[in-house]
Structure 1
């Protein structure tokens, strides 16, 4: 269903959804200001005012920085870790899910091991990752990979099993080889579910990254949150949380753009 839009008076239409979203955000910011600065209903140590958060943002954004680096350096470091862990998960999880979905023998061979490892939370691997790789970035990439790997496998598997068998049979009757059936029928048919898994994997990657950086990190947004918590600096904590949200939203938007390019036959929503 198309989104209604109304004229902004500047020669272009503004989607109604964007207007409602901006109004909601503006109302939330107003309530925040009233509760902290306007009416002072909340203790600043529990919820800082917008002015305090802005002061913390100004501090970490300048050369002075916080936690050993500026906000941009922390954010770029976290983005790089998520990108590496997510890329490895995509490169390993999607082919494995496609293989298990296509081949019953592969499923029978691999699925028991996968089912044993799947219930273990990725955060439970953090102590072992520290033992194996130390406090460097390799351990964090390993934990992110574990987190993003599971949704990639499950959704690729489900996507293959959801392809209409009639389409596969029709391709075979036209003389298509197994490789051609997989390339031109199975993979395109599974692509919507694959991207659903990628979105889940990306979200889980950011959650795991922050948890891993809380345990031990020299740079990153998780370190900002960790140091701010030790310093009892609520304003900086909110800055770190907002930075994680912004990075997560940006990467999700990029993934959505990639999905619209790859799965361009689906109707826009």
Structure 2
């Protein structure tokens, strides 16, 4: 009983934080989604009227929300393989090719953007991508290329944010994958050498199978985060131009900002269900391998 009590003493602070800041707001948001609650009803939350699934029906017919859902899907499908691919490439390079150099310097350099404030990074990239005074277009001009208005053009705004996010995020996957690479027994590679396997054959038949559990973790972790991306478009484009960078989380944020709490709660609930379903699907597909 004493050991159990000590365990609960250590667990209770997390349980309290989880209930107050995660589970509680989640349940409140789901409850609000079935009401017509607005910002003016905050002082009298029990006085709101139930509307059933009206908010969800409105959500299905909202063109801006549909656009936000499509943008989020494109962002996840594009940014996820970029981030994991860059992280794996950097991890393999650090584990082998440049191991003779100060690897800690490269690990820090690759990982530093991941722990830097997203606000600062987004503002810096916004200045870099300025059409007239930005460094990117200035460098392109040196080789005779007239750079576009990256964040003001519908065709380049979302890809620009995807590139910035992939650059910022791949450091986390690199650190995790590097730790996994260093745990692979060297005997497996020695056996591959004895069998005459080349570098690509060893990577395909030894490295990737050994990394499957870690790759699954990186995939689930990154996709859950990318499904909720909001700060990047909020700071860099405000969701424009013409909603071309509007994400699901940013659209929900804007609905909360104008006081449509019931409608925003419905959108939040749908996003939550989609994220959980995506994570479960990835775990089921990757579990057997």
* TM, length-normalised to structure 1: 0.67
**119, 125, 132: which is aligned to 1:129?**
125
Q: Is residue 54 of structure 1 aligned with residue 53 of structure 2?
A: yes
CA–CA distance in structure 1, aligned partners of residues 82 and 112 of structure 2: 21
Contact 1:203 1:248 in 2 (8 A): yes
How far the C-alpha of 1:254 sits from its partner, in A, is 4.0
Between 1:231-240 and 1:107-116, the stretch displaced more is 107-116
Q: Distance in 1 between matches of 2:271 and 2:174?
A: 25
1:112–1:50 Cα change, 3 Å: same
The answer to whether the aligner puts 1:245 opposite 2:286 as a matched pair is no
| Aligned match of 2:185 | 164
Q: Does 1:227 align with 2:263?
A: no
**Count of aligned pairs:** 223
- Farther-moved stretch of structure 1 (119-128 vs 170-179): 170-179
- The Cα offsets for residues 82-130 of structure 1, whole Å up to 9 and x where unpaired, read as 2222232123222222222234237727334224434313343222233
CA contact (8 A) 1:206 1:248 kept: yes
1:187 corresponds to 2:208: yes
CA RMSD in angstroms, aligned pairs only: 3.5
1:45 matched to 2:37? The reply is no
> In structure 2, which of residues 220, 225, 230 is the aligned counterpart of residue 210 of structure 1?
230
Choose between structure 1 and 2 for higher RCO, CA contacts under 8 A separated by at least 6 residues.
2
Alignment of 1:144 with 2:165, yes or no, is yes
* Contact 1:159-1:191 at 8 Å conserved across structures: no
Q: Which runs of 5+ in 2 are unaligned?
A: 1-22, 130-149
Match of 2:122, SS state, is helix
Counterpart contact for 2:252–2:267, Cα < 8 Å? yes
- Contact (CA 8 Å) 1:144, 1:205: kept in 2 or not? no
Matches within 5 A, 1:247-266: 247-260=274-287, 263=289
The separation in 2 between residues aligned to 1:94 and 1:243, in whole angstroms, is 32
User: Structure 2 CA distance, aligned partners of 1:127 and 1:255?
Assistant: 33
